[in-house]
Amino acid sequence: MRVTMAQINPTVGDLEGNFRLIARAVAQASQDSSDLVVFPELAITGYPPQDLLERPWFVEQAQGCLQKVLSLSEQHEGLGILIGTPTKAAEAGKSLYNSAVLLYRGAILAERHKSLLPSYDVFDETRYFAPARHNSPVPFKGWRLGISICEDAWNDPAFWPAQPPPTATIPYRDWPRPEPLCSSTSPLHPFMPARKSCTAG
């Protein structure tokens, strides 16, 4: 499977501008005959959207932007799109998930939600999002995709002495032969790439 990593630089709150970046990346991935294009965490809203998530009009507009990306998947029918966006949550007390949504041929194939929500440094995700309690692989074009979001893929307890990873974090070792895909964003953190590289390696 040919996968394009769309390393765009979304702007927090600029939904129209972010959609233009997404549309260009989708068109390029389609031109390159990719099977799947993977976008960063919360690519639609920019990261971190913070208190914009408490404004219903903003969440509604983000959902509208997701529908526009869904239309792109219909136009580029051979290409799957994995896009980061907030989605509505059923959890008590929290109205949103931090999600990666898989789109293909004008349909939503799957939604996978972030489990390990950071609340340190510039991050305050527990304020806005409910954690996923369960995730599972997603079948796509004959492959099993192990979709994760940021910390869910690098949850070594050594990195979290004060906040051990929850048992709900995606159990890669329990999945038979998944292909791991991680949608991630790490703003203003110079050491994050090295930390992630150590974990992935």
Please tell me the predicted confidence (pLDDT) of residue 168: 42
Please tell me the predicted confidence (pLDDT) of residue 118: 84
What does the domain layout of the chain look like in residue ranges? 3-200
Please tell me the predicted confidence (pLDDT) of residue 139: 92
User: Which CATH code, of 3.40.50.720, 3.60.110.10, 3.30.930.10, 1.10.600.10, is assigned to 3-200?
Assistant: 3.60.110.10
- Convert the pLDDT of each residue in 128-146 to its tens digit: 999 888 888 899 999 989 8
DSSP 85-138: EEEE--STT--EEEEEEEEETTEEEEEEE--S---STT--GGGTBPPPS----E
Average pLDDT, the chain: 84
What residues act catalytically?
Answer: 41, 114, 150
Tell me the pTM: 0.84
Interval 89-100 mean pLDDT: 84
What residues form DSSP beta bridges with 97?
87
The C-alpha torsion from 170 through 109 and 127 to 55, rounded to 10°, is 170
Q: Which amino acid is at 31?
A: Q
In the DSSP assignment, the letter for residue 166 is P
Among residues of the chain, what percentage have pLDDT more than 70?
Answer: 76
